[in-house]
Structure formats: structure tokens, C-alpha cells
Structure 1
Amino acid sequence: MIDMVEKEDAIISEEEAAQYDRQIRLWGLDAQKRLRGSRVLLVGLGGLGAEVAKNLILAGVKGLTLLDHELVTEESCRAQFLIPVDALGQNRAQASLERAQFLNPMVEVEADTDKAEDKPDDFFLKFNAVCLTHCSRDFMVRVDQLCAPKNIKVFCGDVFGYHGYMFADLGQEHQYVEEKPKVVKQSEDANDGPEAKKPKVDPNETTMVKKTASFCSLKEALEVDWMGGKAKTNFKNIPVGYFLLQVLLKFRTDKGRDPQPDSYTEDSGLLLQMREDVLEAMGVSIDLLPPNFVSYCFSEMSPVCAVVGGVLGQEIVKALSQRDAPHRNFFFFDGLKGSGVVDYFSNK
């Protein structure tokens, strides 16, 4: 992906340099060039999708495709800010297009009203990164297995009430650079003694260090055997959000939708039953996920969308610009505790 991105639109115009001046000062011209040459597919224009779209457009990617076949509802208008209040009944991607484009005219933003699951495999291979929100488990695994071998970065995310998550698969060899304090070697004329022989770190000077990170697939991350090997050793560190995600993805698969507030009683009972079925099938105690979780996982909450969308957008920008160390692989947010959890899944 490095060569492909850098060859496209290698020169940034004076207008773009002025537009992205603060970002170029923050992460450098080379990183901005890589962003400027990247095309991203965003699936799902709910509250989380709108936050991700905003962050990518303002960062200055080459192009962003908004893919969503669903229609605008009252909940859509409450959860996301790109849809006008008079757009009820319209397609969500189309209704979000005008305000999204207005954020940054230099980014090519387009709307696609097709159903993501109906798209052929080669459609997803046209992008440098794919971000999937509000998608089924099987579809996310399909896209991840399709894109990863082609070095296309894959991100997944959702918000369920007070809870949210992000997953990233950047492939087996994701290259990036980090800024580190420069180590200054001592001259031969330095005074003798142990202290004089030690290299000195100059906090006022930095150097760019190239690094490589390896990521596991979504399928591997969701199908961990917690009863054996390294996973069993790390089990106590796994956040509750991981098991909550497994239950909610099961609900989405079985019911073809997420839990709804207008069917709270029925859906709460289904969630509790699925909690028991899913965790027992995983070989772990159902006590890992307290039964009161059903009170906090209905609908998209705008503040949670903002937090998770900020992290998700940031990670996509970091991956495409190849600047700074990425999270590996999950980020979980618990709005009740106001905290996020990262890096419990790394390479295989």
C-alpha cells in the first residue's frame, strides 16, 4: 500500500498546504501525502458512521464513499448530525452527502445506496481502507478475509447504548514510523568514566524510527480458545466489552437487527438467554457479563458515538498516513466507567 498511496497525488497544492497546515505541522508532509492519496469506504451512516466520516474528511483523504441502503428514521436524526431534520424516509448515505462534502470541498465524497452485502468482492478491493459499522459478524469476517491479503486496511466498529468498540486489522506487516528522542553519541574527547561512555538522549532533537506491526484477523480475534495456551494466561485482562460484543453480534445475526427500545422487555429476555448460550459455548462463566448489561446497550448514544468515532477515525488516519503506533486490535469503551481498553489482542 505504501507505493500505491505515495504514487497517487504525490504533490500537494498550495491551497491544500494552507488547508492542512496544522496537520502537516503535526504529523509531517509525507504523512499528509499518503492521506491525500487514500480512498476509504465507510459502510453505515448511523451516529458512529457520521463521526468517522467527519474525521476522515477533515483529515484530508483523497476520497470517501458512503455506503448505506437504509432509510432515515427519527432515531437517525437524533444520533447523527449529517442528516437534515427534514430528510425522513430518504436514503441515509444520500441524505448525509451534502453536509459531509461541505466539511471539506477538497475531498471527493460520494454516496452509494446499495446494500453492502450485495456488493461483489472486487468492489471492496478499490479502496485503501474499509470501515464497517452496523454490520453482521459474517459480513465483517468476509470483508476482512477478502481485504487483508491485498494489504487493504479493515476497521470495524459499533455503538450499543453506553458501550462501543473498534477493531482493526492492518495485516501481517503494517509499516509505520514513530518520532523518538535522538540519542547523541559522546565524542572521543569526552571525560573518562562510566557516565561519559553512556549515550545521551537529547529531548530537543528527535528522529523518525521505522517499525512494523503484525495483526490477527477478525475471525481469529472472535474465535479465541480461552481455555488454553497464551489466551488462558491473559484471560483475566480481557475487558467485559469483548463478551458483550459477542452477545450483541449473536443477537444481530439471529434477529437481523439490534435490540430496540420499543421492544425492551422482549429483547432484554432474548439478550439474557443469548448471554448464557454464548458464554457457555465459549467455555467461560456467564458471571463475566453481569445481567444488568441489558439496561445499557439499547440505541446509539451521540456522546458515545463521538468518543468511539474519534478513536476509530484517528486509527484510520494513523494507518493510512503510516504515522505513529496503532492500537492492536480492539478498543472498547464503557460509558458507565468513562474509560477505554486497548491492546489485548495483538499478533498471533
Structure 2
Amino acid sequence: MGMEVDTNEPAVELTEAENELYDRQIRLWGLESQKRLRTARILIAGLSGLGAEITKNIILSGVNSVKLLDDKPVTEADFCSQFLAARESLGSNRAEASLLRARALNPMVDISADTQSLKEKTSEFFADFDVVVVSGETNEELLRVDNICRELGVKFYATDVWGMFGFYFASLQKHKYVEDLVKYIPKASTKPNEKTKYELSSTPVQREMEYPGYSTWLNLETSSRSFQRKLKKSGPGLLLLNVLQKFRSTHKRDPSYKTREADLELLRGIRDDQVPNSSLADEALGVLFAQISPAVAIVGGVVAQEVIKVVTKLEAPHRNLFVFDPQTCAGYIENIEAN
């Protein structure tokens, strides 16, 4: 719905160095938006290749602070796409291994690492952030964190990449944003009987949109008519996401190259159990190992872009489930509604 635009600017001034560094961004989306970024505190939990890509883009935008949280070590599989962790960091903590290169991207952003498990973090921890982005966790943990964030009024993104497949879910509660209302208006004419000419007029309008919680995705049962309708409409992407999340929750890990054939059999079993005779082909299950750089660049780029939208309050963030399909090399948005 439309409403009067909130003109209250953040109570912060950019330094001369910041104005110079972010000059192109300021000309792109305005000084007020850059000030909003300047005060934003972001948590990125899960420093896989996807986490690294999101981190890079968020840091370059000029936020106030980024906390990198991960209790896992750097593995050989990370080097498929985790460009913030150096080769010699193999075996060390992923968050700490990402600090040096992350800080080099933008010295004006406060970047820190936390090596504690996300599961050990309580409500008090999440209250320190404006946006929380989580990858590499089970549905149970994603739901727990989202519920905490919704109670605190913190924006939440769940995201992940498996091989060439990826997704994100945006849980933004009631989100206010500004978009330009564009109209054609007639130009004044000084000549009689002249054909009317029109020009574009752009007026900023504030709107508000409700974004349901992560539970809406979990409640979309595979046997439900709505899930079947969505599968028929958009293809097997939602089923593939469902299968991968079921695999992670059941086996407490992701599909691995080391056990490729056995894991493919497990994936096929979950697929057939969830939706018998589905259109999800065996070939689609063969590209789900490690995190491949092109998919990470796309999904991570979109997530970071959406976080920047949320912070700057410019334009409507996508609502609310994004899926990147490796079969078509295209991403699409599904609107998942609360029951």
C-alpha cells in the first residue's frame, strides 16, 4: 500500500574518505541510502563459498559492520569457491581464515570473526544485528534462528548452494520501502492544434509489504495440493530443495564426492519417497556436490543485492523464495504464503 515517504535520514554523516570511496554508489542510489548502509550491522553465518561471496558484496557496499560466524574448518572442498580463505589455511577455522582478505576489501568496515557454533547463540546475540544471513544449517536450526529474529524485529535470510543448485528465503516481517511511481503526464503546448506530447514523471512512494516466516516453507507439505501445483507450474526446483534439506537433516551432512554413488542412491530414495514419479530427473541429482563458483556467484550476488535493498529501503525485496535451477541456468521467485 502507498503512504507518505519517511524523510528521516539516519543520524550519521559520511567522512570525506567515505564520500570519495562510495561516490559512484551515492550517485546511483542517493546519499540517504548510503547513510543507511553506513549504520547497518550484518551477521553472515556459514563461511562456505556462498558465505564468502555474500560477504564480499556486503563489505564493498559500505555497511557499518560484518560478523563472520563459523565453527567449521577449511576443507579441500571449500577451495571450489571459497576465495576468502587462503590455500595455506586448510584445517583452520573458516571464519578466522576469511578475515584477512575480507578486511582488505574495505578497511572502512568493521569485520570480525566468531568461531562458536550457531546453535549455541541465544536471542541476546542476534539482537546486535539488523540483518542475519544463514547458510549450511538444517531446517530445524534455520527455523529456530528465524523465530528469534522475528521476535527481535531483525531481518532474516536462509540460503544455500549445493553444487550448481541454490536458493534463498527472505523472512522480512513488515518491511517498508520506497519505490518510484512513474507516470506519463502531458507536456504543456504553446501551439494550437498540436498533438499532445507526454513526458515521464517519477514520484517516490513509500510502501509496506508483509513477509511470512521460514515456517511457511516448512509447512508446504510435499503431499499438499499447493505443493503439487507449484511443481507443475515452475518445475522440479522446489522438490530438489526439499530433497536436499531432507538429506541434510537426516544424515547431518551434505552429499559428498567421496561417497558419490551411495549418496546419489540416498537422494533418489528421498525424491521417490517425497513425490513418486516426479519430473526430477536423475541427471539433476548429479550436480549437487561441493559449491561450484558460477552458482555461488549468482546466488550470493542476488542475496547480497537483496540485503542491500532491505537496508537502503529502496525497491521491493523479492517475495520470498528464490531458486536457481542448474537445468535451465536461470533463477526464479516463488511466492510462499502462510496457510
Who is 2:289 aligned against?
298
Deviations 1:66-121 (A, max 9, x none): 00000011111232110111111110000000100110011100000001111112
Shift of 1:36: 0.8
Determine which of 199, 208, 225 is the counterpart of 1:202. 199
Could you list the runs of 5+ residues in structure 1 that have no partner in the other structure?
280-284
Counterpart Cα distance in 2 of 1:190 and 1:239: 57
Counterpart Cα distance in 2 of 1:99 and 1:214: 37
Determine which of 324, 331, 334 is the counterpart of 1:340. 331
Counterpart Cα distance in 2 of 1:228 and 1:85: 46
Who is 2:268 aligned against?
272
Who is 1:218 aligned against?
214
Determine which of 292, 317, 325 is the counterpart of 1:326. 317
The 1:149/1:23 distance shift into structure 2, 3 A limit, reads same
Who is 1:178 aligned against?
179
Q: Helix, strand or coil: the match of 1:22? A: helix
Aligned residue-pair number: 334
Shift of 1:166: 1.3
Which ranges of 4 or more aligned residues in structure 1 deviate by more than 4 Å?
A: 185-192, 225-235
Q: Helix, strand or coil: the match of 2:305? A: helix
Give the TM-score, by structure 2 length: 0.90
Who is 2:21 aligned against?
19
Greater helix fraction, Structure 1 or Structure 2:
1
The answer to whether the Cα contact below 8 Å between 2:50 and 2:296 also exists between their aligned partners in 1 is yes
Q: Helix, strand or coil: the match of 1:287? A: coil
Counterpart Cα distance in 2 of 1:249 and 1:231: 16
1:52-67 aligned within 5 A: 52-67=54-69
Q: Helix, strand or coil: the match of 1:214? A: strand
Q: Helix, strand or coil: the match of 2:133? A: strand
Shift of 1:296: 1.5
Give the TM-score, by structure 1 length: 0.88
Deviations 1:290-342 (A, max 9, x none): 23322121111011100110001100000111111211111111233211111
The answer to whether the Cα contact below 8 Å between 2:284 and 2:327 also exists between their aligned partners in 1 is no
The answer to whether the Cα contact below 8 Å between 1:215 and 1:347 also exists between their aligned partners in 2 is no
Q: Helix, strand or coil: the match of 2:182? A: strand
Q: Helix, strand or coil: the match of 1:174? A: strand
The 1:213/1:121 distance shift into structure 2, 3 A limit, reads same
The 1:138/1:226 distance shift into structure 2, 3 A limit, reads closer
Could you list the runs of 5+ residues in structure 2 that have no partner in the other structure?
none
Counterpart Cα distance in 1 of 2:31 and 2:183: 20
Who is 1:282 aligned against?
none
Who is 2:246 aligned against?
250
Who is 1:48 aligned against?
50
Shift of 1:61: 0.8
Counterpart Cα distance in 1 of 2:210 and 2:126: 22
The answer to whether the Cα contact below 8 Å between 1:214 and 1:347 also exists between their aligned partners in 2 is no
Q: Helix, strand or coil: the match of 1:258? A: coil
The answer to whether the Cα contact below 8 Å between 1:181 and 1:201 also exists between their aligned partners in 2 is no
Q: Which amino acid aligns with 2:142?
A: M
Q: Which amino acid aligns with 1:216?
A: P
Q: Helix, strand or coil: the match of 2:149? A: helix
Counterpart Cα distance in 1 of 2:192 and 2:232: 51
CA-atom RMSD in angstroms = 2.7
The yes-or-no answer on 1:71 pairing with 2:73 is yes
Counterpart Cα distance in 1 of 2:9 and 2:68: 24
Counterpart Cα distance in 1 of 2:112 and 2:124: 18
Counterpart Cα distance in 2 of 1:66 and 1:6: 28
Q: Which amino acid aligns with 2:281?
A: P
Counterpart Cα distance in 1 of 2:183 and 2:33: 20
The answer to whether the Cα contact below 8 Å between 2:157 and 2:168 also exists between their aligned partners in 1 is yes
The answer to whether the Cα contact below 8 Å between 2:80 and 2:290 also exists between their aligned partners in 1 is no
Q: Helix, strand or coil: the match of 1:53? A: helix
Q: Helix, strand or coil: the match of 2:322? A: strand
The 1:136/1:228 distance shift into structure 2, 3 A limit, reads closer
Shift of 1:202: 2.4
Who is 1:10 aligned against?
12
Who is 2:301 aligned against?
310
Shift of 1:278: 2.6
Decide which moves more: 137-146 or 333-342: 333-342
Q: Which amino acid aligns with 2:319?
A: R
